Amino acid sequence: MSDVVLLVVTGLGLGALYFLAASGLSLIYGLMGVLNFAHGSFMVAGAYAGWLTMTGLPDSLGVGVRMAVAIAVALAVGALIGFVVEAVLIRPLYRRHIQQVLVTVGLSLTAVAAVQGVWGSDAHPLDKPAWLAATTDLAGAEVPNDRFLFIAAALLLFGGLLALLRFTRLGLVIRAGVENRTMVEALGINVQRTFSVVFAIGGAAAGLAGLLAGVYANSVSPLQGGSMLIYAFIVVVIGGMGSLTGTAVAAVAVGLVQQLANYYAASGVGDLSVVLLLAVVLLVRPASMQGAH
Partner 1 sequence: MSRHLKALPALGLLVLLAYLPYLPVELPGLLPGRVNGPGSMQLLAICLTMAGIALSYDVVFGRTGLLSFGHALFVAAGSYLTAIGMASLGLPLPLAALLALVGTTALALVVGGIALRVGGIAFAMVTLAFAQAASIIVLRNPGDVTGGEEGRSLDRDLMPDLLLGVNNAPYRYWLALAFVAVAWLAVAWLSRTRAGHAMAAVRENEARAAVLGFDVYRAKLIAVVVAAFLGGLGGVVHAVVLGGSNPHLTTAEFTLSLLVMVVLGGAGSRWGAVLGGFLYTYADSRLVNLSGSSLLESLPGALGNVLSQPLFVLGTFFVIVVYFAPTGLTGLGHRVLRRERVE
Applying CB under 8 A, the residues found at the interface with partner 1 are 29, 33, 35, 37, 89, 92-93, 97-99, 101-103, 105-114, 116-118, 226, 230, 233-234, 237, 266-268, 271-272, 275-276, 278-279, 282-283, 286, 289
Q: Tell me how far apart the alpha carbons of residues 216 and 224 are, in angstroms, rounded to a whole number.
A: 11
Q: Tell me how far apart the alpha carbons of residues 62 and 55 are, in angstroms, rounded to a whole number.
A: 11
- Output the smallest distance, CB 257 to partner 1, in A: 14
In terms of DSSP H, where are the helices of the chain?
A: 2-32, 39-56, 63-85, 97-119, 130-133, 146-167, 169-179, 181-186, 191-217, 224-238, 244-264, 269-284
Cβ nearer to partner 1, comparing 121 with 180: 121
Cβ nearer to partner 1, comparing 24 with 129: 24
- Output the smallest distance, CB 21 to partner 1, in A: 16
Q: What burial class does residue 8 get, using C-beta atoms within 10 Å of its C-beta: 0-12 exposed, 13-18 middle, 19+ buried? A: middle
Cβ nearer to partner 1, comparing 52 with 189: 52
Q: 88: which DSSP letter?
A: I
Cβ nearer to partner 1, comparing 75 with 277: 277
Q: How far is CA 26 from the centre of its chain?
A: 9
- Output the smallest distance, CB 116 to partner 1, in A: 6
- Output the smallest distance, CB 241 to partner 1, in A: 8
